[in-house]
Structure 1
Amino acid sequence: MKHFGQRLRWFGSDDRRERAGAHPRMRAQFDLRRRMLLVCGFLGLGSVALLARALDLQVIDHAFYQQQGDARFLREIPIATSRGMITDRNGEPLAISSPVESVWGNPKELLKAPARLPELARALGMPQDELASRLSARADKEFVYLKRRINPDEAARILALDIPGVASQREYRRFYPQGEALAHVLGFTNIDDRGQEGLELAFDDWLRGTPGAKRVIRDNKGRIVENVDLVRAAQPGRDLALSIDRRIQYLTHRELRNAILETGASSGSAVVLDVATGEVLAMANLPTFNPNAVGSSPRDAHRNRAVTDLMEPGSTMKPLTVALGLEAGVITPATLFNTNPGWIPNGKYRTNDTHNWGVLDTTGVIRKSSNVGAAMIAKRLGDAQFYAFMRRFGYGQRTGSGFPGEAAGLFPSPGSPGWSGTSKQTMSYGYGLNATPLQIATAYAALGNGGLLHQPSFVKGQHNPPRRVLDAKIASEVLHMMQTVTEPGGTATQAAILGYHVAGKTGTSRKASAGGYSRRYIGYFAGLVPVEHPRFAMVVAVNDPDPSRKGYYGGVVAGPVFRNTMEGALRLMDVSPDDLDAWLAVQQAAEAKRQKAEGRAAPASASVSATTARAPQ
């Protein structure tokens, strides 16, 4: 035992083992165990480090790394929304938004694959150099539009090429079914669907919707692989119902275009108002443009001349001069005016008539459109009195229609630099002041509405309270005086409408030029129909007609536009005739002529019965 114990102690001593030399197998076991402990130690430390890193990523610094990941794959993209529809007063669409696609690209991705650019340029229909230049200019960006607002089928063909970094998104494009006929009233929108002119601009906040937003995950090709969250729902724009009647608008545009072609005029404007409400039923201008292809039209054609262009109103001022004379008590309907010899002095100038009309009563001043007669009335009126009355009817101020760019006109006040000793006399027959066709139409609508003036409106049902500008009795008297203008002996027989009494006034204004007036003209006709209960007020202005064709007088160049447009409007709106006797007489004469041609006579009662059955409604 003693010997065994000594041996054991000797074996357990490292120094003695070293000196005596250990057994080879025992040495190998010891080295393996030490290596295992070393490896396990390293693995343990690695596990602790991984756990610590996971804790740092997922708990301690989670927000930072989540943000970094989102920046690479998570995107907040807009949700397109449609613009509100514009309709006419009967609900017919005038402006609608159609869904389209816009193709975009990631310049960083596209520039990494220059071999695909020629293929992409061909698909986009653009030169390769232009595409490369556009991408290079935004090389540090992740987004650039390649082609906007195109047909979805075309966008699908481009995406089918599977070019990295090319994608598409939904947008909306404005479409105008009426095209050129309503271009100046509606205006148009830009490529971002924002109103630029006309009512699209005036009501942009109302029509424009609020885009939504959503978070999505995109892959490296820009494709959406997952919808993560709805940030904000899209709100479509609100619809807008206009006072415009597209049928009357079409008639107005067609007849104005025919007049421009027949007279060789450079431009023209026409306005139709509802007398009882002041609502604009139609407004046409030429030259015009196609709002569906704005870029192809000259900029000058975009101007809505009916509200922006200032013109000397000419003889359309005479009924208002007469109305003021009646209101002031300086004349009566029976007052006589000796216009011989066809002119009177006006300072160092003359006020001339086209003919020497001799002695005229008040009605004759309007029927023959006598400048001398109007000037004689103005001489009986005070300057301030004349100015205040015309301002009452809206001259020299905006009508309040709200149309963008509407002009206020030019109507100088007494004592201002624009007013001289001859101003009142020349203004009485429409020179020395400027107005727009809409202002003239508004004033005439007040005459037809018993002296109540409405602000014109382009929105259905938007009726501002009217204000009285003239006594109803005087308005009626002036209206019946104006009726003689379209009857035999008047200056606008071409504006007469069979079956209806028409009250109107012609105007032929020489255009101002440097140092005086040129030999260029504007021909007007302003009228109301029917006289007994006026429904429509219409003003037509034909600018720069060619005198060698039909002449340049308002009754000849503008009167037919009024007649043809109003004939259609009265029929469309089912307005009862107020001159049925004249209609029946014409029909009976036509029936008698037909019977005579057939060699037999028809009983008078039978003719009346037959024609009555065909009387306009």
Structure 2
Amino acid sequence: MIKSAPYKESFLNTKTSKLNPATWRLMLICSLFGLLTAGVATRLVHLQVTNTDFLQAQGDARTLRIVDIPSYRGMITDRRGTPIAISTPVHAIYVNPSQFSAKPTELKKLAKLLGYTSADLKKKIEQHPHRVFIYLKRGLTPDIAKQIKALNITGLGIKREFRRYYPAAWQTAQLTGFTDIDDQGQAGLELTFEQALKPTIGKKRVLEDRTGRWVKDLDYFQPARSGDEIALSIDLRIQGFAYRELEQAIQKYQAKSATLVMIDISTGEILAMVSAPSFNPNNRQECHGAHTRNRALTDLYEPGSTIKTFTITSALASREFTPESIIDTSPGTYRIGKHLVRDIHPNGVLTLKEVLSKSSNVGISKITLALPPETLLETFRQLGLGDSINTPFPGERKGMLPPPPKNPFMHATLAFGYGLSVTPLQLAHAYATLASGGIKIPVSLTKLPPNTVFKKERVIPEDVALSTLQVLTEVISRKGTGSRADIPGYKTAGKTGTVRVVGPHGYDPNRHIALFAGITPVDQPRLATVIVVEEPNEKNYYGGLVAAPIYRNVVGKALYLLNVPPDNTA
């Protein structure tokens, strides 16, 4: 009989070998934590090894910034180095709305410094909550910026900028123009020379904290460079004196405007170019409207009797006339077809030079009608009348010369300044050409270097130019219409002009433009100057009464300032 072995419970079946549920849970949790740790470690290794560049860039984007290094715009000076336009440091206040945090007291102080109410400032900050940069105020003085910085408000930043300042203000406003709030040229020579004047903005990398505040500079990779300095041809002493004279004339004669251009005959440099009324370019609210126009270059006028100078030039150049040629202007009127040309006073028999000094329309008409109309217009054209001077100034007008007229009356009216249009600068340039012996040289708005070689063009025979110049001195004599332009100690050659203004129904008999164009001295000509006074009152509107005294005062002062020796010591 086989005996069975006694039964023994296996190790797994013993009560003592069974795992406690708490132990199972502990082991499970430990296993999960182990797997999680392994996963995180794997991810970290993956990021550090394969995505290093990406993560570094993302981190830098939150701590490193590329910021501008501002620099100043080039200075504009007059010919003597006196500042006309300079850039001064100012500050802009900006905010990051998502980071902005200010206590009510801080907000109140900030609003007061910025010129806002607390409610308006809060509204301005909150109206664009998703933007990271909003200007609160620009053009603040360093003192105000310093007070704002002391508030230490989170999310508020200060940026250094530059703002244009014009020390001469009204005196040079139409010539220099102005810049916008970003210091970029918008008008005048500020616009013309924008590329030369504007600075090169620098770049640097900086470290910032999480609120966007500067911690330190890391490196510079584009240096800042200021704009070029530009010296203009004008003399600010003459410019300022001329402006005051024009302002006084406007007040005295209730005129609409007045303009003066002065050219250095020897170099073509413009020593003064001024219009009144003017505007203050330091006040942006004034930088618009008619007062911003540089009338010397942008406004066109019929030159009136000032053009008679070149009618005489044309006659002398034809060799058909001499200064002593006799012209009978009796009885003070001259019928041309259906039209009647009149003189203010009957002058009888005159020499050619007396025709100019008396400003006889009858005499000038008879002289010019004795020659083909092409002769007169060619002289005008050679002198640059009705054509652009090609200055770099924006908006310079070209003027207008008509084709040779077939109508004799139209031919005659051209000879005494109607039917064509010129700018004051064109007229001054023509007189400068006459004064230089008939040689035309370019005009310049910038100061020329010493020993500059000029492009010269002879447009009038020298003997004709000298004869015309001597004839012009008769206009300034006591018997001439320009006697009020006489400058003690100096010989002056010049011509008055009075023009009717074109209205809606033709020439208005009650509105006039007074002009004077002159050259001083005569023996060694230095200055050619033109004055235009638009619509003075009807009691005094003739060029000899209104414009000639301005010439005497301004040119007399300029001769003194430039140390030009007298040529008339008699």
393-402 vs 64-73, which moves further: 64-73
Question: Does 1:567 pair with 2:562?
Answer: no
Worse overlay, 73-82 or 434-443: 73-82
Q: Is the 8 A contact 2:102 2:153 kept in 1?
A: no
Contact 1:166 1:221 (8 Å CA) reproduced: no
Aligned counterpart, 2:387: 397
How big is each residue's C-alpha offset from its partner over 1:280-335, in whole Å with a ceiling of 9 and x where there is no partner?
Answer: 10111001011111314662211111111111101010010000111112211111
Task: Give structure 1 stretches of 5+ with no counterpart.
Answer: 1-9, 582-617
State the match for 1:522 in structure 2: 513
**Letter matched to residue 550 of structure 2:** V
Contact 2:369 2:408 in 1 (8 A): no
Q: Work out which of the residue numbers 302, 320, 335 in structure 2 matches 1:312.
A: 302
**AA matched with 1:203:** F
- For the residue of structure 2 that corresponds to 1:82, the secondary structure is coil
Task: Give, in whole Å, the separation in 2 of the partners of 1:299 and 1:160.
Answer: 41
Residue 381 to residue 70, structure 1, CA distance change in 2 (3 Å): farther
Please, which moves more after superposition, 34-43 or 151-160?
34-43
Q: In 2, are the aligned partners of 1:110 and 1:117 still within 8 Å (CA)?
A: no
Match status 1:144 vs 2:131: no
Letter in 2 for 1:408: K
Match of 2:409 in 1: 422
Hey, what does 2:529 align to over in structure 1? Answer: 538
Aligned CA distance change for structure 1 residues 434 and 137 (closer, same or farther; 3 Å): farther
Name the structure where helix makes up a greater proportion of residues.
1
2:316 aligned to 307, 326, 339, which one?
326
Q: Percent identity?
A: 41
Q: CA deviation at 1:74?
A: 2.6
Aligned partner of 1:274 among 264, 269, 273: 264
C-alpha change, 1:499 and 1:113, in structure 2 (3 Å) is same
Q: Secondary structure at the match of 1:422?
A: helix
Any conservation in 2 of the 1:194–1:204 contact (CA below 8 Å)? yes
Counterpart for residue 95 of structure 2: 105
Correspondent of 1:192 among 182, 200, 220: 182
1:556 maps to which of 529, 545, 564: 545
The whole-number CA distance in structure 2 between the counterparts of 1:49 and 1:230 is: 42
Give the counterpart of 1:345 among 305, 312, 335. Answer: 335
- Identify the residue that residue 587 of structure 1 maps to in structure 2: none
Q: How does 1:87-126 map to 2 (within 5 A)?
A: 87-110=77-100, 117-126=107-116
Which residue is 1:483 aligned to? Answer: 473
- Aligned residue identity for 1:491: T
Which one is further off, 271-280 or 45-54?
45-54
Structure 1 CA distance for aligned equivalents of residues 492 and 223 of structure 2 = 55
Tell me the equivalent position of 2:418: 431
Match in the other structure for 1:19: 14
Letter of the 2:446 partner, please give it.
V
Aligned residue number for residue 302 of structure 1: 292
**2:240 corresponding residue in structure 1:** 250
* 1:436-451 equivalent positions in 2, closer than 5 A: 436-451=423-438
Q: How does 1:442-521 map to 2 (within 5 A)?
A: 442-461=429-448, 464-518=454-508, 519-521=510-512
Q: CA deviation at 1:266?
A: 1.5
Task: Give TM-score, length-normalised by structure 2.
Answer: 0.92
- Asked whether the equivalents of residues 257 and 534 of structure 2 are also in contact (C-alpha less than 8 Å), the reply is yes
User: What residue number does 2:325 align with?
Assistant: 335
The structure-2 alpha-carbon separation of the partners of 1:196 and 1:15, relative to structure 1 and needing over 3 Å to count, comes to same
Correspondence 1:135 to 2:152: no
2:101–2:155 contact (8 Å) kept in structure 1: no
Moved more, 46-55 or 339-348: 46-55
Partners in 2 of 1:109 and 1:292 — Cα distance?
A: 35
What CA distance in whole angstroms lies between the structure 2 residues aligned with 1:364 and 1:528? 19
Between the aligned partners of 1:114 and 1:206, the Cα distance in structure 2 is: 47
Distance 1:326 1:546 in 2: 37
Name structure 2 gaps, 5 residues minimum.
1-6
Q: 1:20 to 1:491 in 2, by over 3 A?
A: closer
Correspondence 1:576 to 2:565 = yes
**1:493-529 CA-partner distances (Å, limit 9, x unpaired):** 1111111100110001111112221111111110011
Shift of 1:51: 3.7
How far the C-alpha of 1:395 sits from its partner, in A, is 1.6
Q: How far apart, CA to CA, are the structure 1 residues paired with 2:469 and 2:257? A: 29
Deviations 1:250-299 (A, max 9, x none): 22112222222222212100011000111110111001011111314662
CA gap 1:391/1:14 in 2 versus in 1, 3 angstroms:
farther
Residues 216, 342 of structure 1: CA spacing in aligned structure 2 closer, same or farther, 3 A cutoff? same
Change (3 A) 1:392 1:40: same
> Is this contact kept in 2: 1:117–1:128, CA < 8 A?
yes
Change (3 A) 1:532 1:142: same
Aligned AA for 1:575? V
Q: Does structure 2 retain, via aligned residues, the 8 Å contact 1:73–1:219?
A: yes
- After TM superposition, give the deviation of residue 388 of structure 1 in Å: 2.1
Query: What TM-score, normalized by structure 1, do the two folds share?
Result: 0.85
Structure 1 residue 472 displacement after superposition = 1.3
Asked if the contact 2:101–2:153 (Cα under 8 Å) also holds between the matched residues in 1, the reply is no
Cα displacement (A) at 1:166: 1.1
Cα–Cα, structure 1 residues 422 and 65, in superposed 2: closer, same or farther, change >3 Å?
farther
Bigger CA radius of gyration: 1
Matches of 1:239 and 1:261, distance apart in 2:
36
Matched residue SS, 1:580: coil
> Is residue 45 of structure 2 the alignment partner of residue 58 of structure 1?
no
Q: 1:388, 1:460 → 2: CA distance?
A: 31
